[in-house]
A and B are shown apart, each in its own frame.
Chain A
Amino acid sequence: MTWEIVIGLEVHTQLSTNTKIFSGASTAFGAEPNTQADAVSLALPGVLPVLNCGAVERAIKFGLATGAHIAPRSVFARKNYFYPDLPKGYQISQMDLPVVGQGALTIQVEPLSGNAKPYEKVVRITRAHLEEDAGKSVHGSSQGVTGIDLNRAGTPLLEIVSEPDMRSAAEAIAYAKALHTLVKWIGICDGNMQEGSFRCDVNVSVRKPGQPFGTRREIKNLNSFKFMQQAIDYEVQWQIDTIENGGKVQQATVLFNPDTGETRSMRSKEDAHDYRYFPDPDLLPLEISEAWKAEVRATMPELPQAKQHRYVNELGLSAYDASLLTSSREMADFFEAALSAVPSQAKICANWLIGEVSAQLNRDGLDMAQCPITAQQLGGMLLRIADGTISNSGAKEVFRTLWAEGGEADAIIEAKGLKQVSDSGAIEALVDEIIAANADKVAEYRSGKDKLFGFFVGLAMKASKGKANPAQLNEILKQKLAG
């Protein structure tokens, strides 16, 4: 009997506000240490937190995007623990009454192995709450001391907690990616994982199907999807081995070491989870009115999932293509702008974006926002594919030129003589010549050597300098060879 993997995620997203959650200090990344650590970030005596409207607004956006309950009244609490990068001795967070309640995210899962087909799954989101980030500890600059940079202290975070609904590493990654896409899409987080704007804690346990949940271990602070996959794979195997060898999994927090590919238990800190939460007397309850929600709703873009449905139902694309086209807002915007040049050719447009454009971006190490060709340029080329002016190989030539030199499809087609010959008279004449010059091969073909067809296509294409419309050429050739 096989093991079932159970995974839940807690994701810390740094909200893209200009200032901290409880003070007017800047949150810009990369500033000199402590130059953005104001009196509130430093927890100097007598300071009071004042809640940032922009942070709340972003939480509302997230709630709306996941169909979640947005609390008309939520409460901030103190989470007490001692660490030098937390000068107050407590983190302001939310406990009993978070700003965003139960919601859900629909994900497209691409199985990592075998021939399994992509499928759709709904992951429930338990809650999302506002809290402040801690500062940064810098180890090893001098012997016996730790340096503290409090620039990050007080940066607003939305912690998004999922139900343990995921059953494989592939599902966990798909959820994390979908969430990453969503928070960038609705503009609440820049999604920069290297700078720590999107950090994942992954809770993993294993059980026999139908049994109650096993004991979980929490893998902390994963900041890449690749590491997440490696960490989950290692952790799952470790737990299964432990149990099958007669051991027991103890609840623990573990860290993933990318160099060894292993997860390692953090020294279990006694009392580490005794945070003694209580409502923060410095902050009043946060009220969110229906009117405010309506105001925010009016600013929301069409969401990835709604677009996916529209692409499938109205444009006839596959669910898989639709999910790739909505992998970022830039991609979807590009697709829709290019499609406006060839509204009836959604499939061709999708193929070019998912195929050549994405591959070329990849090769050049660019993302969609840096794409050297515009949607209008691509649309101009698609139009000429759609109306038969250029063949697929001609289109590739046009695309290469657009990419490297810019310009406009029609001018490139003209300059390079890429217009394909669709004049059946011209093609017929060409085919007649070839048949006349290759009487022996024609006889062989007619006596049943079907494979020779390709030989004739090759000759004809060559004679047309690659410009003959392939479909037309095939048809005429077939007719003439049949005699």
Chain B
Amino acid sequence: MSLTTDDVKKVARLARLAMSEQEILSAQAQLNNIFDLIAEMQAVDTTGITPMSHAQDVVQRLRADVVTESDQRELFQSIAPQVEAGLYLVPQVIE
């Protein structure tokens, strides 16, 4: 599989990345290199092998359901660009 420049533009848009035509071309080449590597790996016969979902072969540790966090709103909001009545303000979002 190989990506077209339109594919790259779509991926960039989904990731909210603004890219110049030049950057798109270089990203296309890089991404296609990655796809070549994936193609190589996909050629390996993995029948009967459980896919890994994580590089480390260990399992998730769990946390007890106990409140450990306290209210630090003032501290967190001191670095926010804009707050009002306890809310973080962002440019208007219209559904």
Contacts and interface: CB of A to CB of B under 8 A. Distances in A.
Contacts, number: 131
B60 A23 contact: no
Contacts of B92: 139, 144-146
A80 interface: yes
Contact of B88 (A83, A147, A283, A287): A147
**Which among A137, A279, A284 has the greatest number of chain B C-beta atoms within 10 A?**
A284
A83 B93 contact: yes
A461 B13 CA distance: 85
Interface in B27-50: none
B59 A284 contact: yes
Contacts of A192: none
Given A38-B72, A286-B59, A149 B66 contact: no
A152 B77 CA distance: 17
B18 interface: no
Nearest to B93: A146
Interface stretch (A48-56, A326-334, A337-345, A393-401): A48-56
Interface string B57-69: 0111111111111
Interface residues of A, number: 55
Contacts of A37: 73, 76
Contacts of B14: 80, 271, 274, 276
Interface in A253-299: 266-267, 271, 274, 276, 279, 281, 283-287
A84 B61 CA distance: 30
B53 A75 contact: yes
B89 A17 contact: no
Nearest to A274: B14
Interface size class of chain B, counting residues whose CB lies under 8 Å from the partner chain: 35 or more
Interface string B3-38: 000000010011010000000000000000000000
B24 to A, nearest CB: 17
A287 B59 CA distance: 6
Interface stretch (A25-33, A183-191, A360-368): A25-33
A24 interface: yes
A124 to B, nearest CB: 26
A276 B15 CA distance: 10
Interface string A121-153: 000000000000000011101101111111000
A283 B60 contact: yes
Nearest to B55: A281
A73 to B, nearest CB: 8
Given A137-B93, A284-B54, A284-B59, A34 B76 contact: yes
A238 interface: no
A54 to B, nearest CB: 3
Contacts of B63: 24, 50-53
Interface string A148-162: 111000000000000
B16 to A, nearest CB: 6
Given A19-B67, A37-B76, A145 B60 contact: no
A35 B86 contact: yes
B1 interface: no
B53 A148 contact: no
B56 interface: yes
A35 B76 CA distance: 10
A286 B61 CA distance: 8
A102 interface: no
A54 B65 contact: yes
A119 interface: no
Contacts of B61: 50-51, 284
Contact of A33 (B60, B85, B95): B85
B85 to A, nearest CB: 7
Nearest to A27: B67
Given A19-B65, A24-B66, A35 B71 contact: yes
Contacts of B56: 284
Given A18-B65, A18-B67, A284-B54, A84 B87 contact: no
Contacts of A38: 69, 72
A145 B91 CA distance: 5
Contacts of B95: 266-267
Contact of B62 (A33, A51, A145, A266): A51
Given A33-B87, A83-B93, A137-B93, A53 B73 contact: no
Interface of A: 17-19, 23-26, 32-39, 42, 44, 50-56, 73, 75, 80, 82-84, 97, 137-139, 141-142, 144-150, 266-267, 271, 274, 276, 279, 281, 283-287
Given A52-B62, A145-B82, A274-B14, 7 more contacts: A39-B72, A50-B63, A52-B63, A53-B63, A54-B65, A55-B65, A283-B60
19 contacts: A18-B67, A25-B69, A26-B69, A32-B86, A36-B71, A39-B72, A52-B65, A54-B64, A73-B59, A80-B14, A82-B16, A84-B93, A141-B84, A142-B84, A144-B92, A148-B89, A271-B13, A271-B14, A285-B53
